[in-house]
């Protein structure tokens, strides 16, 4: 019987810190002896490592956590241009095949007990020109979600809208990470207001990490910061059987 557990890292928008959170979570799991894998079904934007173009996000997670697996299994669809998935697929003539994604995930589930998956952009981003959205893929893969949101002004609206869309799409958001958290009144109130209005109890705050740039593989001390901000027992409690 397959008992692999997983979580899907989603965001209120692009650039909110999904990859940094995924890397921090992978680092935390591996440090605690969990046999865990990173999975990003669709990735836009590459970096050249040892003469090979690979997903910049997957490369960042590898540098932070040490996780290494065949690129085609970790990121079955990688596009060079950092644009929306449906546009990248159209530009390259390589459409996103959900059967290929499912096969890659099934292979990882055979080898690993924990899967940290990461989305591309926001939930409502289309994966093809027929209107299939990222939310449809996540629902099909049966992952619960961990939502990454900005800590500052505007995040209440973005977060509540994303949670509402997730619910309408049949997704379960188990927790929220407020990324780039400071100590201003606005940021503290954002956390309390979102907790009260969303009903989501598991809300974590991740402070700003200096010298962090996922595109340039500048990792700063994201692993240490994540471990201080998020308790291991709390985070694994959000991960369901997939």
Rounded Cα distance, 132 and 146, in Å: 21
Distance in angstroms between the alpha carbons of the first and the last residue of the chain: 11
The answer to whether 36 touches 115, Cβ cutoff 8 Å, is yes
Indicate the DSSP class of residue 239.
Answer: P
Q: Is 31 assigned a catalytic role?
A: no
Mention every residue, 6+ apart, whose C-beta is less than 8 A from residue 160. 194, 197, 198
Backbone angles phi, psi at 124, to 5 degrees: -90, 10
Backbone angles phi, psi at 84, to 5 degrees: -60, 145
The answer to whether 161 touches 194, Cβ cutoff 8 Å, is no
Q: In this structure, are strands 5-11 and 240-241 parallel, antiparallel, or unpaired?
A: antiparallel
12: helix, strand or coil = coil
Rounded Cα distance, 67 and 59, in Å: 9
Catalytic residue (one of 40, 62, 109, 174): 40
Cβ neighbours, 10 Å, residue 73 = 15
Catalytic residues: 40
């Amino acid at each position: 019987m397959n008992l692999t557990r997983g979580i899907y890292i989603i965001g209120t928008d692009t650039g909110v810190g999904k990859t940094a959170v995924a890397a921090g979570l992978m680092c935390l799991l591996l440090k605690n002896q969990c046999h865990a894998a990173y999975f990003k079904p669709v990735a836009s934007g590459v970096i050249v490592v040892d003469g090979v173009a690979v997903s910049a996000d997957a490369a960042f997670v590898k540098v932070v956590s040490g996780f290494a697996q065949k690129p085609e299994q970790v990121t079955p669809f990688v596009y060079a241009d950092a644009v929306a998935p449906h546009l990248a697929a159209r530009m390259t003539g390589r459409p996103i095949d959900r059967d290929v994604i499912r096969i890659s995930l099934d292979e990882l589930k055979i080898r690993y007990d924990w899967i940290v998956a990461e989305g591309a952009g926001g939930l409502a981003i289309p994966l093809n020109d027929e209107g299939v959205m990222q939310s449809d893929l996540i629902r099909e893969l049966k992952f619960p979600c961990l939502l990454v949101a900005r800590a500052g002004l505007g995040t209440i609206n973005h977060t509540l809208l994303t949670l509402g869309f997730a619910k309408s799409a049949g997704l379960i958001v188990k927790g929220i990470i407020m990324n780039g958290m400071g100590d201003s009144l606005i940021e503290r109130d954002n956390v309390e207001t979102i907790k009260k209005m969303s009903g989501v109890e598991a809300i974590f705050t991740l402070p700003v990490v200096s010298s962090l740039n996922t595109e340039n593989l500048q990792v700063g001390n994201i692993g240490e910061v994540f471990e201080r901000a998020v308790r291991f027992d709390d985070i694994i409690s959000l991960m369901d059987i997939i």
